[in-house]
């Protein structure tokens, strides 16, 4: 069990009640990665999102068709990538609930 699992479980329980599509979005910092596991920051960010989606499916009753995993690579930083602290802020996973607008 990872340290983040209780948080994912708690968030997933709340999201079960929320209508709409649940997008799990992964982000890295801007340091280029090239490893046996990841060929690029885009792959790393997508893998982060997919990992969270898998855990959400394991710990909740959210139907798989409500979940989407998205990786943006290093294209959407929240902080400059000029210090280790700011790069750490950019390494994140966001969860966004997308609801359809209904015409009245």
Q: What is the CATH number of the domain that holds 32?
A: 3.30.1330.60
> What's the alpha-carbon Rg for the chain, to the nearest Å?
15
Is residue 54 in a domain?
yes
What digits encode the pLDDT tens for the residues 49-99?
Answer: 999 999 999 999 999 999 999 999 999 999 999 999 999 999 999 999 999
Is residue 104 in a domain?
no
Is residue 61 in a domain?
yes
The dihedral over CA atoms of 30, 98, 67, 81, expressed in degrees to the nearest 10, equals 10
What digits encode the pLDDT tens for the residues 19-55?
Answer: 999 999 999 999 999 889 999 999 999 999 999 999 9
For residue 80, what are its two tokens? 């400059």
Rounded CA-CA distance 23/71 in Å is: 10
Q: 13: domain range?
A: 5-98
Is residue 103 in a domain?
no
Is residue 58 in a domain?
yes
Is residue 94 in a domain?
yes
**Total number of domains constituting the chain:** 1
């Amino acid at each position: 069990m990872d340290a983040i699992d209780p948080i994912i479980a708690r968030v997933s329980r709340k999201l079960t009640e929320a209508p709409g599509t649940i997008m799990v979005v992964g982000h890295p910092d801007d340091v280029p990665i090239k490893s046996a596991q990841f060929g690029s920051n885009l792959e790393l960010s997508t893998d982060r999102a997919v990992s969270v989606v898998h855990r959400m499916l394991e710990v909740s009753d959210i139907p798989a068709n409500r979940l989407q995993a998205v990786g943006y690579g290093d294209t959407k930083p929240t902080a400059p990538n000029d210090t280790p602290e700011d790069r750490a802020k950019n390494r994140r996973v966001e969860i966004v609930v997308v609801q359809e607008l209904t015409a009245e």
